[in-house]
Amino acid sequence: MDETSPQYAECVLCRKPTEYPESVEGAVYCPVCEWQEAQRTACSG
């Protein structure tokens, strides 16, 4: 088992590791922030 550094991108909001790989492009959110962003979008307008 190799536990050097997690190969997951950091959440752009809370800096926690996300479920996405570091190589993913653009902003990524952890499950919590992703859910919150979805709620915000759903409530806007």
How many residues would you count in the chain?
Answer: 45
CA angle centred on 40, ends 36 and 22, rounded to 5°: 45
- Specify the residue, 9 or 30, whose C-beta has the smaller distance to Zn ion: 30
Q: Is 14 in the site for Zn ion (CB under 5 A)?
A: yes
Q: DSSP states of 6-38 as a string? A: --EEEPTTT--EEEEETT--S----HHHHHHHH
Closest approach, Cβ 39 to Zn ion, in A, equals: 13
Per rule CB under 5 A, count of chain residues that contact Zn ion: 5
Q: Is 30 in the site for Zn ion (CB under 5 A)?
A: yes
The binding site for Zn ion (CB under 5 A) comprises: 11, 13-14, 30, 33
